[in-house]
Chains A and B, each alone.
Chain A
Amino acid sequence: MTIPSSDQVPRWVAGRDVPGLPTGAFERMVLDAIDGQRSIAAIADLVGLGAEDVAQMIGALTAGGAITIDPRPGPAPRPFTSPTAPTAPVTVGGSDAFDPSLDIAAPLQARILELFDAIDTLDHYALLGVPRDADRKAIKSAYYGFAAKFHTDRHFGKNLGPLKSKMEVIFGRATVAHDVLSRKEQRAEYDRYLSERDRTRAYEELLSAVDEGRELFPTPPPRVATPLPSAGRLPVAQAVQPDSGPMKVAPVNPARITADFERPVERPLPASVLDERTRKEALARRLGAGRQRSVSGTTIPGAPSLTPPRKTSVEEGKAAADAIKRLYEDRRDNARKAQAQRMLEAGEAALAKEDVVGAANHYRLAVQYTDDPAVHSKFKQISQKAREVLFDAYMKQARYEESQAKWKEAAASYAKAHEAHPDDADIAASVAQALRKEGRDLHRAARFGELAVQKNPNSSGFRVTLGAVYLDAGLFLRAKTELEVALRLSPEDAKIKELLVHVRKALA
């Protein structure tokens, strides 16, 4: 058995059953504290055991295969650390990978394709292959290494075929990454967006963990039917609604209509910036009174440095054995109580910092040590809050992505928000709209569009969205049907009429 060191991070192996593991109280405490983020030292600190003991225990558990040791310390979803060779997590589809007719070595070709395919999923840090806390110098050096490798001038006069434009795209993205990350304010804004994204991921993990432990929730918490106030109105279907389209974002000044072109549609600032305050305030309101409680200074009993109960000779007497057992049970109860107390306090502290995820995590552990219904109900409440915040975060993310015309990402984020509020027709229509703009999966766009219409058959806007999807997909008959219903719902709508003319022309 190898004993891990205290800065290592143990993690559950997916698919392994917990029941197979030893379930002694101490083990359970330790097991409960394993979340894939805490190091062994942090776990020891949390459960009140010595780090060596915890390390020993985890070493034994890893032998069972349900737990593995993650060598990296700390919670950060670190990207890539080698500046010259950022490794994209994407594998390239095999056959077209290498083109021997090009004047460019096979590994570089593969690298270019790999990066190009992953370009939308890599954040600025990952693309440049630097850690999130990289200083300007490191960023610059990574970018320069990137340029020396991927700039088309380094392959001047060579036959690069279709890779040339791909290299230009990759280099262009690297430049944006460099420029954003080397300017203070822009980097701060970008970091906020990223942490928003990381947060949604963390919430997601948390909630799936909560959902797996369903016995804690006899009934899943009810889902909110209407969007949260801070989620705001959705720019759904508006592109095809004459009264409230995104063109309205930059209202037309009728006095100035002379030239060929309207001024551009102004893109709103990223939601992560705009809504920071609102979000905090809303969260503060929702969190209510629990805010100001500080961690009390109670000394925690029963958190001794403990040697595991040795198998002493039972023959020494039943009384002695009972005494030991009592002592052991006392200690265990004390430990559990203390543990619950610790978790609750940690949970409250997290709440005070508006860290709902952290709070929910602590509460999740706390409810296992106590039967107090108040704690259980608070846990439910916090989990629910976490869901809402997650939903909120997805909406914000979606709108930021929408504002950057990143339709693919926006569609994904809206789809996540839709999972949280499957009955919200607006969101379903938003998904449809984003998918339509992305233009890759019109079938899926149609499904969401249909869902929105099904949820709210009397909205002409949703029907127009759906009609537009059908139109894009070349399903003119269906488009016609939807648009005709839409026109019946809003007979005055000139936009619908125009679309219909378009459709009829296509049908003729």
Chain B
Amino acid sequence: MERVIGIDLGTTNSCVAVLENGAPAVIPNRGGYKTTPSMVAITEAGKKLVGHIAKRQAITNAENTVFAAKRLIGRKFSSPQVKNAIATSAYRIVEGPHGDVRISLRNKTYGVAEISAMILQEMKVIAEDYLGAPVSKAVITVPAYFNDNQRQATKDAGAIAGLDVIRIINEPTAAALAYGFGKDLERTVAVYDLGGGTFDISVLEIGAHGVFRVIATAGDTFLGGEDFDARVIDWLVEGFQQEHNIDLRQDRMALQRLKDAAEKAKCELSATRETEINLPFIISSGRNEALHLQRVISREVLDSLCSDLVERTVDICRQTLQDAQLGKEEIEDVVLVGGMTRMPRIIEQVAEFFGREPCKGVHPDEVVALGAAIQGAALMDQKTEMVLLDVTPHTLGIMTFGSNFRGLIPQNTTVPTSRSEIFTTSRDNQTAVKILVMQGEHDKAEENELLGEFVLTGLRKAAKGQVEIEVTFEINADGIVSVSAKDMETGQKQAIQVTASSGLTKDELHNMIEAAQGEMLERRASEEDEASKQEAQRLIAEIERLFPQVEQIVASSDFGRDATEKARGILQRARDAVARGDAAGIKEHLEALGRTARMFRGVVQKTS
């Protein structure tokens, strides 16, 4: 059976896992790391870099290195979160043709999904290298609080990366799967997930028959480690401003260095009480004099800079329990997920809120990918007794008159589900209604996310309020939303499947998929070329090493004189091909080189 990989596509780090012999395992990348930075860069030569190599060159190539693309995915350019990202990012964020977000790198614009696709493709390659077989199916995780547009964009990213995304699941849910899988537990757990970009809280019940039932979920898709970093950066920038009256933000390279240093300090403060931030030659004073930044930051300072952020997460936890009508004492375990949960202040506050020490048994960076792999395996192979009952994180509904929002399926409803409600017309002789399908918790329609729209026509002409229209919402287990509207009088019906919009049109998506496919083929081909070249070089070196010996042996006999001659010729042509970088030529000579090397080895062995 085909293997399904689980990918945790994180804001700062991504991770891939697979189920092996019934147990989920994280797949390390080529560098041996279990997580890969979610960073993409384009070099001056136009080369695409993903992961650690992209991170390593970020400071010198800040404007063309994308980090935290997840914060932009599926959002509208006009949204406040995008405004915020524009202000803090060194790379250029521009408006796309559909009010969507694009990223401009070295004069080429990319859809956010395309950037995410590069990361996903990297994860796919990591898995393929490890499994030694092509991989086409994946379960990808997203923050539980992502709306449908963000989910759709993530799916699109998967498609661009050449992956059949069989399911999108929520990160905290995935974490709970990994926590409870195969343990035969029956308990209610809270998953607190604070990563690089997002915060999620989910309460789940793990029960008999391998059921994982999400009771409630909430979060903030713009609250994470990046915001903690930003607080430290602000603190550094302000201090510098006071001291030197220079705004470090004006210099993109300085900003990138600050960002790195701030994050590093933040992480160090999880282990030590105090650390030094040291950035020599951070900027020039303008009087031909270089300025240095050097400051000591203590854990207390970090805690106070970020106290409101931590408080916000606790507030969301409180609200979630309240909405679910659950008491803290009903939570039997607390699972911490995400790199930020290593921060002592966070552990303390979570423990204090829930009145218990969080569980120590899960690895905060890997657990999400592991859960995704588990879900993938359970879907593909029904012998794995596990079923996940997830909920809709946001209320689904329609716009009613006066620009009001009327929810039909409330948040935290278990899917699959369907609900109907009867509405009436609002104008005299209204023969058509436009159904605007929206998602969100606000009473005012415009505050919510628009998912799609359609028109029900051919209504009977009547006074306002006289024509009854039954609107039905349906969500299936794949999270696909269908909406239908029926004129109660005539029985006329219209329905759509709501395809949330990722900001890309079908054509654009199609082109991106094709382009990525092409690039992937090229990449695989060039990897192959590289491997042949290395093999050729290895063989050339071996032959060269053995040559004097072989020559000697051959010289003392009549045999094989043309053999060495021939070998010399092969060696020369192969060297030339390598020097020219002629991939086809190298491949052509590989076999002859191999033969010669074997022959040389044999000769030397025989005579020694």
Give A residues with C-beta under 8 Å from B.
140-141, 144-145, 147-148, 151-157, 168-169, 171-172, 175, 179, 183, 239, 242, 245, 247, 252, 256-265, 405, 437, 439, 468, 472, 494-495, 498, 501-502
CB contact list, B393-426 vs A, under 8 A: 398-404, 406, 414, 416-418, 420-426
Query: What chain B residues lie within 8 Å of A264 (beta carbons)?
Result: 400, 406, 421-424
Given contacts A148-B211, A263-B404, 5 further A-B contacts (CB under 8 A): A147-B389, A172-B417, A242-B463, A260-B401, A261-B398
| A to B CB contacts below 8 Å, 29 in the list | A140-B207, A141-B207, A147-B387, A148-B210, A148-B211, A153-B387, A156-B380, A168-B476, A175-B417, A183-B325, A242-B463, A245-B466, A247-B424, A247-B465, A256-B402, A258-B402, A259-B402, A261-B398, A261-B426, A262-B464, A264-B400, A264-B422, A264-B423, A405-B470, A468-B489, A472-B491, A495-B466, A498-B462, A502-B460
Closest 10 CB pairs of A and B: A259-B401, A148-B209, A156-B379, A262-B424, A262-B426, A144-B211, A261-B400, A168-B416, A247-B465, A261-B401
B400 touches which of A245, A259, A501 (Cβ 8 Å): A259
Of the 9-residue stretches B100-108, B216-224, B427-435, B539-547, which lies at the interface with chain A? B427-435
With the chains together, A500 CA to B387 CA distance in Å?
Answer: 55
B211, B417, B424: the one contacting A265 at CB < 8 Å is: B424
Given A141-B207, A155-B382, A175-B417, CB of A257 within 8 Å of CB of B462 = no
Q: Is B388 on the interface with A (CB-CB < 8 A)?
A: yes
A-B contact count (CB 8 A): 143
Find out whether the CB atom of B382 lies under 8 angstroms from the CB atom of A148.
no
Cα of A369 to Cα of B460 in the assembled complex, Å: 66
- Within the complex, the shortest CB–CB distance from B375 to chain A, in Å, comes to 9
Smallest beta-carbon distance B288→chain A, Å: 65
Q: Quick one: given A147-B211, A261-B425, A405-B422, are A498 and B461 in contact (CB under 8 Å)?
A: yes
Q: Does B227 contact A (CB under 8 A)?
A: no
B133 interfacial by beta-carbon distance below 8 Å: no
Contacting pair A157 B207 (CB below 8 A): no
B301 adjacent to chain A (CB < 8 Å): no
Contact B209 A147 (CB under 8 A): yes
Nearest A residue to B413 by beta-carbon distance?
A175
Chain B's nearest CB lies how many Å from the CB of A320?
73
Q: Does B274 contact A (CB under 8 A)?
A: no
Q: Is B468 an interface residue, CB under 8 A from the partner?
A: yes
Q: Tell me the bound Cα distance from A494 to B464 in angstroms.
A: 12
Q: Are B425 and A262 in contact, with the CB atoms below 8 A?
A: yes
Which chain A residue lies CB-closest to B423?
A: A264
CA distance A364 to B94 in the complex (A): 85
B464 to A252, Cβ gap below 8 A? Answer: yes
Residues in A with CB closer than 8 Å to B430 are 260
CB distance from B361 to the nearest CB of A (A): 24
Q: B357 in the interface, Cβ–Cβ < 8 Å?
A: no
Is residue B208 contacting chain A, with contact meaning CB distance below 8 A? yes
Q: Is B477 in the interface zone, CB < 8 Å from A?
A: yes
> Shortest beta-carbon distance, A158 to chain B, in Å?
8
Verify if B129 is at the interface (C-beta below 8 Å from A). Answer: no
Choose among A156, A239, A258 the residue that contacts B401 (Cβ–Cβ < 8 A). Answer: A258
User: Measured between alpha carbons, how far is A132 from B450 in the docked complex, in Å?
Assistant: 43
- The complex places the Cα of A254 from the Cα of B162 at a distance, in Å, of 54
Interface string of B440-481 (1 = CB under 8 A from A): 000000000000000000001111111010100010110000
Chain A residues with Cβ below 8 Å from B462 are 495, 498
B385 touches A (CB below 8 Å): yes
Q: Which chain A residues border B417 with CB–CB below 8 Å? A: 172, 175
Residues of B within 8 A of A242 (CB): 463, 466
Is A262 within 8 A of B208, CB to CB?
Answer: no
Measured in the bound complex, the distance between the Cα atoms of B325 and A502 in whole Å is 51
Contact code string B509-549 (vs A, CB < 8 Å = 1, else 0): 00000000000000000000000000000000000000000
Cβ-defined contact, B404 with A252, below 8 A: no
Rounded to whole angstroms, the CA-CA distance of A247 and B404 in the bound complex is 18
Known: A156-B379, A157-B379. A261 touches B387 (CB 8 A): no
The closest CB in chain A to the CB of B430 belongs to A260
Bound CA span A437–B422, Å? 12
**Centre residue among A260, A263, A264 by max chain B CB count within 10 A:** A260
CA distance A265 to B421 in the complex (A): 8
B330, chain A: closest CB distance, angstroms: 12
